[in-house]
Chains A and B, each alone.
Chain A
């Protein structure tokens, strides 16, 4: 089953504004592509187009050998799942966690009805949450926990491609690390292909195999991670990398760091 995603000459316009300008991109199977860009670069639009939430004006999206059209089949819907940025808004506030996890399981008939409860517990265990969370409502959880539930929901339909749109940006730094760790284990355990979007280059470095950079709707660069972080091709990538605030070099005492007084 080739789950490689191919995006060909994708263009999206809002009125006179071009949000995506002729983007072509390949996602190799079982790898994580980190997509970097500043606000307004079109990275979220790209994610939403691939997830089928926005119809492109031009271009094609291929999942394996199948072309994804505006109307997708149930099977195609299941293949691509998305995690969103804002943990406060990603779960329906009126649904219990059981309802949230069971809905797609039942709708897509992933497991027989009598096994739904068991599967919900397994999904929660995957994201390191206790089974008693099932009876609770989203507002009873912290941001990081809600993001875990959102991940469990996305995994419920057994997707082959996971899109994560800034999934850790709204979280506190301590929580951010553990959620990143979870993404890493899940992608290796479940053999997922992932498109991980972030403006934070540290996060991208921690999670990606390949890095792509977007700016003003255009794809600027796509390189292997190690190459990107040490020898970026494009000047804009270099500018981005140079702007990241760095910790003073604490291992070699003195020398590097000059305190400002």
Chain B
């Protein structure tokens, strides 16, 4: 599965806080074109920090102490808290058009057209075209769609997803994940998906990297890793997905 032309290569990345406390230690992975890779782990495992390092958005007080990040494509990020990622005082379509205007270097008028196209592609209601709304007037799922649209407006080769569905309800989570996968098939971007939920990661990603306390404890092809976990931590994560019995009459389709 290892791609011959990786769009993103990380070699021995180390991040540390000001007090020299290591936060991420010796993390390496490479991401092929159009591939989806999962970073799984609990809070404090350094998975979100690794994502931020790729984007060059490390929080204040955290520095890169070693390693190289080689990126062959533009990257954009989708955050966990969609409301926090949007400006509460700016209507959403205007916000989106603003991103298009600056990132794609087109006229104001064209940027609005592109923004509206993106909205349609993400399955947002047509009513937004007529009357723009503030983030507080939209549901969490709709806000997350706007955030994804903004990320796509940067025409990314790599989409970085930081627990994009954790704050959402299960039904909405399912819709968002379906949207992300269909967009990926259509646009062909590669994706790094960070989550603590192994079930989501397993359904989305071809390869998984399990992180614990800033280090990668295990990695491999998804199915292989789930069937033969060698690290007890991976086993624990697998066990943490509580089983549900099969629904009689099958699962409903979205």
A: residues with CB less than 8 A from B are 38-39, 172-174, 176-177, 199-203, 205-206, 226, 229-232, 238-248, 250, 253, 257, 259-261
Contacts and interface: CB of A to CB of B under 8 A. Distances in A.
Given A229-B245, A245-B203, A247-B226, A177 B240 contact: yes
A229 B251 CA distance: 11
A260 B252 CA distance: 21
Nearest to A177: B240
Interface stretch (B90-98, B153-161, B194-202): B194-202
Interface in B178-192: 181
Nearest to B212: A174
A192 to B, nearest CB: 21
Instruction: Tell me which of A205, A240, A250 has the highest count of chain B C-beta atoms within 10 A of its own C-beta.
Output: A250
B43 A172 contact: yes
Instruction: Tell me which of B1, B173, B203 has the highest count of chain A C-beta atoms within 10 A of its own C-beta.
Output: B203
Contacts of A246: 199, 203, 244
A245 B252 contact: no
B176 to A, nearest CB: 11
24 contacts: A172-B42, A173-B237, A199-B169, A200-B242, A201-B244, A202-B242, A205-B242, A226-B245, A231-B248, A231-B249, A240-B170, A240-B171, A241-B247, A244-B170, A245-B197, A247-B198, A247-B238, A248-B203, A250-B223, A250-B226, A257-B223, A260-B181, A260-B203, A260-B205
Contacts of A177: 239-240
B65 interface: no
B246 interface: yes
A2 to B, nearest CB: 32
Nearest to B36: A260
Interface string B41-56: 0110000000000000
A51 to B, nearest CB: 24
Contact of B246 (A230, A240, A257): A230
Contacts, number: 111
B170 A248 contact: no
A247 B226 CA distance: 9
Nearest to B221: A259
A133 B204 CA distance: 43
Contacts of A244: 170, 199, 244
Contact of B173 (A174, A243, A253): A243
The 10 closest A-B pairs by CB, nearest first: A202-B242, A173-B240, A38-B169, A242-B251, A242-B252, A245-B199, A243-B174, A172-B42, A243-B170, A243-B171
Contacts of A205: 242-245
Nearest to B177: A245
B1 A261 contact: yes
Given A238-B247, A239-B252, A261 B35 contact: yes
B42 A245 contact: no
A231 B245 CA distance: 10
Given A172-B196, A250-B227, A229 B243 contact: no
A241 B248 CA distance: 11
B200 A245 contact: yes
A206 B243 CA distance: 8
A180 B37 CA distance: 31
Contacts of B177: 245
A245 B169 contact: no
A194 B42 CA distance: 28
A248 B200 CA distance: 10
Given A173-B42, A244-B170, A247-B198, A259 B206 contact: yes
B230 to A, nearest CB: 14
B247 A242 contact: yes
B155 to A, nearest CB: 22
B42 A174 contact: yes
A237 to B, nearest CB: 10
Contacts of A257: 223
Contacts of B245: 205, 226, 229-230
B170 A259 contact: no
A172 B173 CA distance: 19
A50 B177 CA distance: 36
